[in-house]
Amino acid sequence: MRKINFLLVLTFAYIFISAQDRITGKNFASRSEVIAQNGMAATSQPLATQVALDILKQGGNAIDAAIAANALLGLVEPTGNGIGGDLFAIIWDAKTAKLYGLNSSGWSPKSLKLAYFKENNFEKIPAYGPLPVTVPGTVDGWFEMHKKFGKLPMKKILQPAIGYAKKGFPVTELIAYYMEKSSSFLQKYPGFKETYMPNGHTPKKGEIFKNPDLANTLELISENGRDAFYKGKIAKTIAKFIKKQGGFLSYNDLADYHAEWTDPVSTNYRGYDIWELPPNGQGIAALQILNILECYDIKSMGFGSKEYIHVFAEAKKLVFEDRAKYYSDMKFSKVPVAKLISKEYAGKRAKLINDYKASQKYDAGELEQGNTIYLTVADKDGNMVSLIQSNYRGMGSGMIPTGLGFMLQDRGELFSLKEGHKNVYEPRKRPFHTIIPAFITKNGNPFTSFGVMGGAMQPQGHAQIVVNLIDFGMNLQEAGDAPRIRHTGSSQPDYGEMKDAGWLELESGISYEVIRELMKMGHKIKWGIGGFGGYQAIMYDNINGVYYGASESRKDGQAAGY
C-alpha cells in the first residue's frame, strides 16, 4: 500500500511539474511568437491578418495594410467595429523616425442640446437608438492616414473587404456567439434583420455570411473618396435615416467633420518610453498606473503575487478617480495632462496606498489648473501602425441606415448629463473615449506596437503588458497570455468618487492561497469570465532586423509574417 501511495505522489508531482508550459516554465499556457523579416500583421481575425499580408506583398506599406485589415474586420467582426464607429492610431514613420497620433473620433450633433435631455427627464443618455449616435470617424481616419503615409490606391486597399462582402466568408464560433447574443435586443431596430439575419437568424459557426449592402458602400468610398461618406449619398442616407428615427445627427454634422493629428504623450517606465494618445481618450490612465507602479519593486514581488495584485488594484483605483474627474475633449476644457502623468504627482498618489489593506474610498487628486478591435502592422521599411477601432457596446446603437450595411456607433452614451462635469454633453463635442492604441520606444527607436481592447480594461491591460514585458521578463506572446487582473466597479466617467471598493476580477491561473490573502486584505474577489480584453502586438528586434508577432488566445486572433 505504501508503495502504491508513493507512486501516486510521484505521479501527481510529475503532473504538477509538467503542467508548466513547454520550455518557458510558466504556469500558464502559451504559444510561440511569430518571427519574420519583411513584415508582420496581428489582428483579431485570421482573414484580416492574411489580407494585411497580401497588401504588404503587393507593395503596400503598413498603413495600407492596416486600413485594408480594418475594412475587412468591419465585415467579419461586426460585433466590435465597423465604418459606423471611431478610430485612433499611433504610427511610427521610419522615414522621419517619429511617432504620429491620429484622433478620428466623431463629435455630437450640433442641433442636440443638453436642455433636450433635461426637458425629457433623461437621467443618462440611452445606450441604443438614435440619441447616442455621434459622427463616425473611421472612414475619415483611413483617408487621413493614407494621404499622409499611404502608397497603394485606396481602390486596391478596400478591394479585399469588398470581395469578401460580396462573396461571403465563414463566420467564426466567437463572432457567431456574439452576433446571436446581440440580436436578442437589436433585432427590433430597422435594418438589423435584413443585414445580419438574412436567413431568419444570425449566421451560425461555419455558415457563409454575405453583406452586399456593405460591399456597395465600400465601393462608393473606394471610387469617390472620403467625401462619398461625409458629403455624398452615404451622408444623405445617414442623416435622413436618423431624422426619421427621432435623432439629431445631420448632413452638416457629417460634412463638417475632420479627424485630427495629435502628438502622442509618454512616460518613461524603467528605461522604456510608453506612448499613448491624450484625451478625449483614456490612454493617459495607463501612464498614470505605470508611474505609480514604478514606485514599487514590482519584479521582486513576482507575477501573480498578492503584493503585486494588491498594488496594481490600488493604483488602478487611484487613477480611475482622476479619469472620472479630468478626462474629456480638450477643446472644451483644460485637461492637466502633463501634471497627471508626472512622476511627482504619481509619487504623491502612491503614498495613499496602504500596503496591507484594500481601500474603500479614494478621491481624485487635487490639481491646479463595450467590444472593440485592435490591430497592428509592420512593414519591411520599418513603418509600424498601432490601430484601434470600435462601435462601442459591441455592434453599436442598433441604427443601420437604409441599404448601407453597417451600424452606427453609440459612443455618445459616454457623455455625462451632469452640468459642470468636464464630460458634460455639448454640441459638436467628442465624448470621453475608451479605445486606446499604445506604442513603446527605447532610446528613440521603435520597440513594440500593441493594444488590449475592452472598455475600462484597456488602460489596465496596457499597464499589465508593459509590466509583464519589462518587470517579469516575459516574451511578447507570454505577456498577452498571462492571467490578467481587472478591477471594476469604482468610479465611472459620470462620477468623481468611489462608491465602494469595487470588485477585483481574476483570470484562472492565480493561486487560491494568493486569493485568500487578497480577501484578508479587504479585496472583493470574483472569477472573471470574459471582459479581459483582446491583445495584439508586434515587437521590433533592431539587432537581428526581425519582427516578433503575438496574438490574443482569448479571441480569433492571428499574428503572421513573411
Is 283-326+335-368+485-531 a domain of CATH 1.10.10? no
pTM, rounded to two decimals = 0.92
What's the confidence (pLDDT) of residue 23? Answer: 59
Residue 504: partners with Cβ closer than 8 Å, 6 or more residues away: 309, 313, 485, 486, 487, 518, 523, 524, 525, 526
For the chain, which residues make up each domain, given as ranges? 36-282+370-484+535-562, 283-326+335-368+485-531
> Cell digits for 350?
502612491
Q: Tens digits of per-residue pLDDT, 275-320?
A: 999 999 999 999 999 999 999 999 999 999 999 999 999 999 999 9
**Average of pLDDT values for 9-35?**
60
**C-beta of residue 441 within 8 angstroms of C-beta of residue 447:** yes
Single out the catalytic residue among 49, 134, 267, 372: 372
Fold matches, 36-282+370-484+535-562 and 283-326+335-368+485-531:
no
Residue 334's SS3 state is coil
Q: Tens digits of per-residue pLDDT, 166-180?
A: 999 999 999 999 999
> Under CATH, which number does the domain 36-282+370-484+535-562 receive?
3.60.20.40
Query: How far is the CA of 18 from the CAs of 12, 14, 175, 513, in angstroms?
Result: 10, 6, 34, 21
Q: Tens digits of per-residue pLDDT, 440-467?
A: 999 999 999 999 998 889 999 999 999 9
372 is a catalytic site residue: yes
HSE-up of residue 517 (Cα within 13 Å, Cβ side): 14
Q: Is the pLDDT of residue 15 over 50?
A: no
Of 511, 367, 408, 426, the closest CA to residue 112 belongs to 426
List, as one string, the DSSP characters of 408-419.
Answer: PP-GGGGSB-ST
What's the confidence (pLDDT) of residue 499? Answer: 57
Q: Is the pLDDT of residue 3 over 90?
A: no
Q: Is the pLDDT of residue 367 over 90?
A: no
